[in-house]
Chain A
């Protein structure tokens, strides 16, 4: 053991300044070009004056940010001792933070393309505590790639294993899953082509505004409609949007999951992936409480699903791009592969997500059908009432929308009911739910830290209940909706008898 005071303080990599400068120049080009062209098109100012204004603005902004970053890098010191990682930051208000080694649960190395050009990487050191509050995470922005990798391996290696480990020393860590190009077949059937196609249209529309082309584009569109009729143009536009979205989502999918590899090093699961942006996520196994098999509608039809970690300290974020969800341990892949990987992640002979699932009583289906009909009836009633009193156009809207909404709502009700279920294995409680994406969550019994049973007056009459197990991981709770109240209780009693038996009566 070295004396902690002897270990020298280290500085961030100076090349980070290059990243900042290049990044700021990029931002300035992205903003400056449309602004310049807008001002020139506007004819309000002479061209040389516009260029002078924009360029001096760029110099001031880039200069200020680079100066700030220079000071930040100069004033940031860190050191890694045998006990802890320490970080001193702050230009004016100095801050000193320390995280003890045994509390470190995640070390994520993130290298954007720009970082890679300069040979540096950002390192996030997290303690995996509930929510990513300030102070539970240290960020080194940025250090050299080699140092970042060394630091990650160093911090996540536990001091001398106490029990003899399963992995023979010296062998490469076992790889649980690797990317297969065939998995891209699940991209076209996801929601992303539609979402990204519409988003691309929005961006294009914005750009036409910058260059003052909106009127001419609208004119051309009107021309096209006149020549080809509305009923040709609409399907054509939908096809174009979907094709653009498909290309974009494939590009995002490849970028996010290229070189994907899930492996286990000691007691840490590690996900590495990414074509342009290299992402690396490390998850200490003692944070894992289970897995969730997610089968989005399209992928489910093709027999595919993805795996998400149910683990403490992982943010529950909604991604705005495919592949940005940190919970995902395996992207959409054939179901057999997902089940095998789930088993290996949990160190079980067979994945608990393959357990026999008991569906919920028919009364649950009747409730859903009633909700579906009621929801549509409310919408239609509003349309009809307003249509009769204000404008009769809404009456047409009412019957046309009813033709679409009634089957859609009934389909949703049936689909949601078919996805309801629960089951168990020796060590796991399994809950299934979801509308378009069917989610099968398997929660380890030791991860269950509470039980909630909820009943509405209607559920009491029908013998149904919403049965929830709470956990420190993920969103905090998993619910079996509208389960048979006695039967789900019997299943739960088999999984967590210590917790429930004292409060249960058998008649």
Chain B
């Protein structure tokens, strides 16, 4: 648009919990290590397809090691969230990034999920849904007490805001 300033979405204010980096690292290890171990064992045991298995193992490590090292830190720089009196705003992803905004008046449910790994690190995933089948906002890696407070606060604001949520 000529003669106008260039617009961009700013980063949401709050970082997620630092422990999320460890959580994402463990999750990445759980993805990479079993594959590498299985390939390694098979390569040690089976004679004939060994070159193929070794190639697959090398490929797994070449992709997997940077993934385990880089992805969690990258995510930590991208994943951010913010809630105002009017809206919830969150950014997520690492290579592929996503910004989501949902107005308070359209929020239908707010809930948290804690998997076994997240419980270990005292983390929660907060999910905010609207009437749209596609509009849910997910905030990963929040401290579980902060998440519980946030659920209470968002529910209260959403109820106080007029609107039928559709």
A interface residues, Cβ below 8 angstroms from B = 130, 312, 449-457, 460, 468, 470-472, 475-477, 485-487, 489-490, 493, 498-500, 502-507
A497 CA to B12 CA in the complex, in Å? 17
How many residue pairs at the A-B interface have CB separations less than 8 Å? 114
> Mind listing 11 A-B residue pairs with CB under 8 Å?
A450-B100, A450-B102, A451-B99, A454-B96, A457-B95, A486-B8, A499-B101, A499-B103, A502-B89, A503-B82, A503-B89
**Residue from A130, A453, A486, A499 within 8 A of B98 (CB atoms):** A453
**Residue from B99, B102, B130 within 8 A of A453 (CB atoms):** B99
Note all chain A residues with C-beta closer than 8 A to B134. Answer: 452, 468, 470, 475-477
Interface residues in B66-105 by Cβ distance below 8 A to A read 82, 84, 86-87, 89, 95-103
Interface residues in B1-57 by Cβ distance below 8 A to A read 1, 4-10, 12
Quick check: A130 and B5 within 8 Å, CB to CB?
Answer: no
Q: A428 → chain B, closest Cβ, in Å?
A: 17
A227 CA to B6 CA in the complex, in Å? 71
Quick check: B7 and A455 within 8 Å, CB to CB?
Answer: no
Quick check: B131 and A130 within 8 Å, CB to CB?
Answer: yes
A471-B132 contact, Cβ under 8 Å, with A453-B98, A507-B5: yes
Q: B51 → chain A, closest Cβ, in Å?
A: 18
Quick check: B95 and A452 within 8 Å, CB to CB?
Answer: no
B interface residues, Cβ below 8 angstroms from A = 1, 4-10, 12, 82, 84, 86-87, 89, 95-103, 106, 130-135, 137, 165-166
**Residue from A454, A470, A502 within 8 A of B84 (CB atoms):** A502
A451 CA to B88 CA in the complex, in Å? 11
Note all chain B residues with C-beta closer than 8 A to A493. Answer: 7
Quick check: B96 and A455 within 8 Å, CB to CB?
Answer: yes
A503 CA to B135 CA in the complex, in Å? 17
Quick check: B132 and A477 within 8 Å, CB to CB?
Answer: yes
**Residue from B1, B7, B102, B166 within 8 A of A472 (CB atoms):** B166
**Residue from A450, A485, A489 within 8 A of B130 (CB atoms):** A450
Q: B85 → chain A, closest Cβ, in Å?
A: 10
A50 CA to B125 CA in the complex, in Å? 66
Quick check: A456 and B103 within 8 Å, CB to CB?
Answer: no
Note all chain A residues with C-beta closer than 8 A to B133. Answer: 130, 475-477
Quick check: A449 and B6 within 8 Å, CB to CB?
Answer: no
A504-B8 contact, Cβ under 8 Å, with A449-B131, A454-B97, A477-B132: yes
A487 CA to B82 CA in the complex, in Å? 24
**Residue from A130, A470, A489, A505 within 8 A of B135 (CB atoms):** A470
A472 CA to B96 CA in the complex, in Å? 26
